[in-house]
Structure 1
Amino acid sequence: MRGILRRSFLAACAAVLFCGAAVAQDYPSRPVKIIVPFPAGGSNDIITRIVAQKLAERCGQTFIVENRGGAGGNIGAETVASAEADGYTLLLTAPPPLTINGSLYKTLPFDPARAFAPVALIASVPIILVVNPSVPAKNVGELIALAKAKPGSLNFGSSGIGSTNHLAGELLKSTAGIDIVHVPYRGAAPAMNDLLAGQIPFMFDNIPAVLPQVQGKAINAIAVAGAKRADALPDVPTVAETVPGFEASSWFGLVAPGKTPAPALAKLRSELEVILKMPDVKKRLAELGAEPGTVFGEAFGQFLAEETTKWGKIIQASGATVD
């Protein structure tokens, strides 16, 4: 009896291994859909289409990009979370649905920590602290001094509650110990218009959005929110050079439904490791102010966990919430 059970067990293991090998060899055998949980035309959409084209060329299958915006990225994320976990429906997204919305929204239709399998950090985009030229602050230290001299009088804009640009401002508020007031807009464009008009004194925004205005001297870039200086603005210091430990950046990551077979995930990761090192891909990302990702699989999962913890604390401290 024990011999029969042992043979059955070994046969089952062999079947699993065979199926895994088959998935690795055959995947993808039909078109793959990549959901972008934000509208077409933005950085998330553009970067996804760059990656989708390269994956299609290398894998010999169509990678379809589908935009499903709304609810801070939650609608598109829910679509992927509830999809069949076979590797044929993926999510390529900015931070909110994976690391921010779980702390910001009172309820979510999915659990960000359990619903997805991490594939890769695709790209990171520096966030820049910019001020209207009329503001008497030429660096972070002077901006902090101005805020401390007039508590509650300085407003900062953002593309909306829970955006990385909003949370970068909240992070500055907490780490520098200043009282500044958040003014949310419905998108980065109207916030930038008010910054240019002097209706708000400063804001954080992604480098692709601010670079033309900085180069045209319509606004002043006084700091980079990330851990290092931006290649596009090498003379602009980081916030951390004045406020040690400060770090905020935007990024785009690829995930799959949580129970997607390991061989399919491995195939995607291996292809992306090659794609993100391609000179033409690096050049195109650089034109968007982005840097290719270098974090894959479990390391990307750890990155997501750390980002979730960091922003969760900032959101709790700010009191921000969305019904």
Structure 2
Amino acid sequence: MFKSSNPKITLINIQHLEMSALTVAMCWKLVTIKKDKLNAISVAVYHKPDSNECYHLRKTQQPPMCELNDDPDAAWYDFAFEVNASYFGESDGVMYEPLHACMHEVPMGETYRGSHWPEEWPDRVQKPPYWLNKSQIAISGKPTANDFIADYEHWKQVISKSYMSKLGINWSSLRNVMDMRATYGGFAAAVKDLNLWVLNVVNIDSPDTLPLIFERGLFGIYHDWCESFSTYPRTYDLLHADYLFSNLKSRCNIKSVMAEVDRILRPGGNLIARDESSMIMEIEKVLKSLHWEVNSTFTNKQEGIISECIDLDHRMNRINSNDLRVYDITIE
């Protein structure tokens, strides 16, 4: 160890040695280490093993390998609903899964998720993953791989034929976007060529499709929309909600959810909601009470609403004048 009279530097070197010993014990390979000459900060890059050979040859099993019944896919979030059992496996999720000081073996075999690298971008966002087999049944009741493709094609059509041209949204001005009920991440996949990013939210009372979203190379998170979302106010430029509110109405107050939508959407931002006609009408009433400008329509049994949250000064003027206008836009 490099000796120094500075206790802080000594501590850093001790921590580095401990980290190095741990990564060796975990079978991680040091790829490179670089040191900044100006501030002396070092960066190390490690490679996780892609086979179990090193794990089996370790002289001391520390850290230990996890027990066979320890589910590597168990999410930390509170999966309080039976429907949200592991969608691509057999085991249920658990409430606030604690960290375990153990390692899972590398999955081996063509049918196991994580057994080999995904397709290159952008193919990975468009093609069903190798581990989606024909025997798995999707949310729609179809084979999962077929449903994956159908979902992607559906959102490409909706976005190109309706969202881009008929909603009056300046898509070039958008950067932070959220799909509040993402399912497979098809909405985010369909806008992959735009200069924006999408946070895909998998609802906790829905099938656990987050592994599939990550496999596509997209961002995602679990959330219960009956609770506040952990983010700063006025963060997102656009929120997208596909049949979210009708799925929430049996569990929580829609007014509270809409208040949370108003909190996290920036002034001048947009909400696109597609839902049942009765729910669209309820949402529209709430948004008007929040002094939003609402554009809405219902066509061919498919309902939609586009709502624009105007800037604060304009909003205050409308509150004073009570001048709210409603526009009709066709959503296919």
Q: TM-score, normalised by structure 1?
A: 0.22
Q: Compare relative contact order (CA 8 Å, sep 6+) and give the higher one, 1 or 2.
A: 1
More helix by share: 1
